[in-house]
A = this chain, B = another copy of it.
Amino acid sequence: MIELNFAKSADGLIPAIVQDYKTNEVLMLAYINKLAWEETLKTGKAHYWSRSRQKLWLKGESSGHVQMIHEILVDCDDDTVVYKVEQIGGAACHTGYSTCFFRKVKGERLVVEGKKVFDPEKVYKNKI
């Protein structure tokens, strides 16, 4: 198993940047611990550590929108990774946008640039 430097942060978590494997668009950022890292390598599906729920989180476990790993990059300090993924369902963000980064800084304002792929109320309504 490739060792990452989880000890770098006080909480044992390091960030995982998630990119679309075709376009290189950044879809989201989430955190991983050793368990999430091992499960990702083992299954080929992106796993994270949910800071709010304090548990292992298979992305897409409630929406079905899992992320299939195509490539993983590790940074020079072993304390950040990039997951290049195929986002099943086309949207990584719980708001229904394809990316969590759907707003752009324009002067003093944030303007929405992305388009909604799904309606979160319909996708999550029976699954929470």
Residues of A within 8 A of B (CB): 1-2, 10, 15, 17, 19, 23-26, 28-29, 41, 71-77, 80, 82, 93-95, 97, 100-105, 108-110, 113
Contacts and interface: CB of A to CB of B under 8 A. Distances in A.
Contact of A103 (B73, B100, B103, B104): B73
Looking at A17, A71, A97, which has the most chain B CB atoms within 10 Å of its CB?
Answer: A17
Q: How many copies does the complex hold?
A: 2
A82 B26 contact: yes
B105 A2 contact: yes
Contacts of A82: 26, 101
A17 B101 CA distance: 11
A104 B73 contact: yes
B80 A103 contact: no
User: What are the 6 closest A-B residue pairs judged by CB atoms, nearest first?
Assistant: A24-B24, A73-B101, A72-B105, A75-B100, A29-B80, A76-B100
Contact of A110 (B2, B17, B24, B97): B2
Contact of A19 (B26, B41, B95, B104): B26
Nearest to A73: B101
